[in-house]
């Protein structure tokens, strides 16, 4: 369930989740000069989370959003209001008005009304309306109908709302998360290179176990598990909010991948315990993990590899809509029968579809739409010949296409459209003997693998993408 309400209009293209481009704003002669800092902060705060930018212009004739101070209803009632015009889902103009009867004045670094209301809080709220957010009262938010006295800025509800309208800010789009036994960092690929940002400190007892949109918003998040306390913590990959505990599972559980297996718009965490039980862990509306058993399998079944270690070739597993049903499933491999099987969750239970067989020299690598047919494929790797094949599933049967080869020094850490060309690629990490290393994106072009170096990452880092 969405944790916000939208008005139904936006700036820029009318499709929700697309950028809002640059929206202009201006003040008229009624606005005191001491309002400037609060107004600039309000626009900057929204732009920090949504893919929309704002620019102040010199006159109302040039502006999309007009700011003014005028009478509304007298003191200590309505502090401000937003009015707007639109066609369909597109804004044409908006006006934000602050009530002139409120006695706005400076108090240290803040601007307050005579009743103690923060101008910044009111500006954030009214600008929120002017860019498409409606009142929402299910939890604390700047978009609550009534001003919260203990205002502390935008909350997750507000952030999810602005991201639903415009997508996440380009500065915060994260492609991968890394852990080196001391800290977590996030990486963003742009213009053929990867930039990194520290997210937080986590010791060697912590392990990255999932990467996706677990909390229902469009921005990426990660899950990390402690081998000591068994806690699972959820964090925003952009580092904008602190991690928090969402659950705990014991050492008998292995984490086998993450995707939206239940079709509710949120990523789920796939888990398997030592008894063969398959379960999903999902973030509930209340913010904690809820667990559901979906089936059980024997010990001969492996995820993401075909060797006896049972470890994943990449920490996000091999998941996608391989059967064309509109559901994310995951791939398992049997050491006994050599079957590759796609598993989907239907009405809360695992449904198994055998798609083909490969020998134990092959391991499962990563999944995505590598061949550009709008269907998810997955890659397999031959540990003897070092060749890579793309596996597509048609009418329930696997088809194999050899696309290239890489040496055993490369580790596959995930997949995605890292260079923004509309084609999924596999992210590979090579660890050098001297402890250095680098990242490459593998893409399939005209049936053959192409490799592009996009960053440098040392051997001390474990990655998930």
pLDDT of residue 418: 80
CA distance 56 to 159: 22
Question: Comparing 65-69, 297-301, 355-359, 459-463, which segment has the lowest mean pLDDT?
Answer: 459-463
pLDDT of residue 1: 52
Would the pTM of this model clear 0.85, i.e. be above it? no
- Highest averaged pLDDT of the listed ranges 90-99, 374-383, 412-421, 456-465: 90-99
Q: Round the average pLDDT of the chain to a whole number and report it.
A: 89
Q: How sure is the predictor about 264, in pLDDT bands with cuts at 50, 70 and 90?
A: confident
Is residue 314 within 8 A of residue 412, CB to CB? The reply is yes
Q: State the average pLDDT over residues 308-313.
A: 48
Q: How sure is the predictor about 306, in pLDDT bands with cuts at 50, 70 and 90?
A: very low
pLDDT of residue 262: 93
CA distance 339 to 329: 16
Which tokens is 184 given?
Answer: 């977590």
Q: How sure is the predictor about 187, in pLDDT bands with cuts at 50, 70 and 90?
A: confident
Q: CB-based contacts of 374: which residues, under 8 Å, 6+ apart?
A: none
CA distance 177 to 28: 45
pLDDT above 70 as % of the chain: 93
pLDDT digits (tens, 9 = 90+) for 108-145: 888 999 999 999 999 999 999 999 999 999 888 899 99
CA distance 230 to 192: 38
pLDDT above 90 as % of the chain: 61
Using the predicted structure, report yes or no on whether residue 458 has a pLDDT greater than 90.
Answer: no
pLDDT of residue 172: 59
Using the predicted structure, report yes or no on whether residue 151 has a pLDDT greater than 80.
Answer: no
Residue 281 region by backbone torsions, left for phi larger than 0, else alpha for psi between -120 and 50, else beta: beta
Give the number of C-alpha atoms closer than 13 A to the C-alpha of residue 72, restricted to the C-beta side: 19
pLDDT of residue 2: 67
More confident residue, 310 or 188: 188
Q: State the average pLDDT over residues 212-237.
A: 88
Q: State the average pLDDT over residues 251-261.
A: 92
pLDDT digits (tens, 9 = 90+) for 17-44: 999 989 999 999 999 999 999 999 999 9
Question: Comparing 66-70, 273-277, 371-375, which segment has the lowest mean pLDDT?
Answer: 371-375
The angle formed by the CA atoms of residues 431, 432 and 433, to the nearest 5 degrees, is 125
Using the predicted structure, report yes or no on whether residue 308 has a pLDDT greater than 60.
Answer: no
pLDDT of residue 9: 96
pLDDT digits (tens, 9 = 90+) for 69-110: 999 999 989 999 999 999 999 999 999 999 999 999 999 888
Q: How sure is the predictor about 309, in pLDDT bands with cuts at 50, 70 and 90?
A: very low
pLDDT digits (tens, 9 = 90+) for 343-359: 999 999 999 999 999 99
pLDDT of residue 150: 67
The angle formed by the CA atoms of residues 381, 384 and 390, to the nearest 5 degrees, is 20
Q: State the average pLDDT over residues 195-223.
A: 86
Q: Furthest-apart CA pair in the chain: how many Å? A: 80
Closest to 427 in 3D by CA, of 304, 416, 401, 374: 416
Q: State the average pLDDT over residues 187-204.
A: 84
Is residue 254 within 8 A of residue 278, CB to CB? The reply is no
CA distance 222 to 20: 27
- Highest averaged pLDDT of the listed ranges 67-71, 145-149, 460-464: 67-71
CATH code of the domain occupying 22-166: 3.40.390.10
Which tokens is 131 given?
Answer: 């860019």
Q: How sure is the predictor about 3, in pLDDT bands with cuts at 50, 70 and 90?
A: confident
Is residue 239 within 8 A of residue 200, CB to CB? The reply is yes
CA distance 82 to 98: 9
Using the predicted structure, report yes or no on whether residue 402 has a pLDDT greater than 70.
Answer: yes
Please give the radius of gyration of the chain, using alpha carbons only, rounded to the nearest integer: 25
């Amino acid at each position: 369930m969405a944790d916000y309400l939208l008005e139904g209009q936006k700036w820029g293209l009318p499709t929700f989740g697309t950028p809002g481009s640059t929206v202009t704003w201006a003040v008229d002669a009624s606005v005191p000069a001491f309002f400037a800092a609060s107004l600039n902060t309000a626009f900057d705060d929204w732009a920090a989370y949504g893919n929309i930018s704002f620019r102040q212009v010199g006159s109302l004739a040039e502006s999309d959003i007009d700011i003014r101070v005028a009478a509304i209803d007298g003191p200590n009632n309505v502090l401000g209001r937003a009015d707007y015009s639109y066609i369909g889902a597109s804004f044409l103009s908006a006006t934000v008005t602050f009530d002139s009867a409120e006695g706005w004045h400076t108090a240290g670094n803040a601007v307050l009304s005579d009743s103690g209301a923060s101008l910044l809080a009111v500006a954030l709220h009214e600008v929120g309306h002017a860019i498409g957010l409606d009142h929402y009262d299910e939890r604390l938010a700047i978009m609550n109908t009534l001003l919260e006295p203990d205002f502390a800025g935008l909350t997750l509800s507000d952030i999810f709302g602005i991201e639903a309208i415009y997508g996440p800010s380009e500065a915060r789009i994260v492609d991968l998360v890394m852990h080196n036994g001391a800290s977590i960092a996030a990486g963003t690929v742009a213009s053929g290179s990867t930039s990194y940002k520290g997210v937080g400190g986590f010791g060697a007892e912590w392990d990255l176990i999932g990467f996706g949109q677990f909390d229902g918003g469009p921005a990426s998040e990660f899950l990390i598990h402690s081998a000591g306390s068994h806690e699972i913590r959820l964090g925003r990959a952009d580092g904008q909010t602190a991690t928090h505990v969402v659950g705990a599972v014991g050492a008998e559980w292995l984490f086998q991948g993450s995707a939206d297996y239940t079709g509710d718009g949120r990523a789920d965490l796939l888990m398997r315990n030592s008894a063969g039980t398959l379960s999903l862990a999902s973030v509930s509306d209340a913010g904690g993990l809820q667990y559901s058993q979906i089936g059980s399998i024997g010990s001969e079944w492996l995820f993401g590899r075909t060797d006896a270690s049972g470890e994943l070739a990449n920490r996000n597993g091999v998941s996608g809509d391989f059967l064309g049903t509109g559901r994310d499933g995951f791939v398992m491999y049997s050491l006994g029968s050599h079957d590759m099987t796609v598993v989907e969750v239907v009405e809360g239970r695992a449904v198994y579809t055998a798609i083909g067989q490969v020998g134990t020299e092959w391991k499962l690598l990563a999944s995505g739409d590598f061949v550009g047919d709008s269907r998810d494929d997955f890659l397999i790797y031959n540990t003897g010949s070092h060749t890579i094949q793309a596996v597509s599933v048609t009418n329930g049967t696997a088809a194999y296409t050899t696309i290239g080869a890489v040496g055993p020094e490369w580790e596959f850490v995930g997949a995605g459209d890292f260079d923004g060309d509309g084609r999924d690629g596999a992210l590979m990490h090579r660890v050098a003997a001297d402890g250095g290393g680098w990242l490459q994106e593998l893409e399939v072009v005209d049936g053959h693998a192409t490799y592009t170096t996009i960053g440098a990452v040392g051997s001390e880092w474990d990655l998930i993408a």
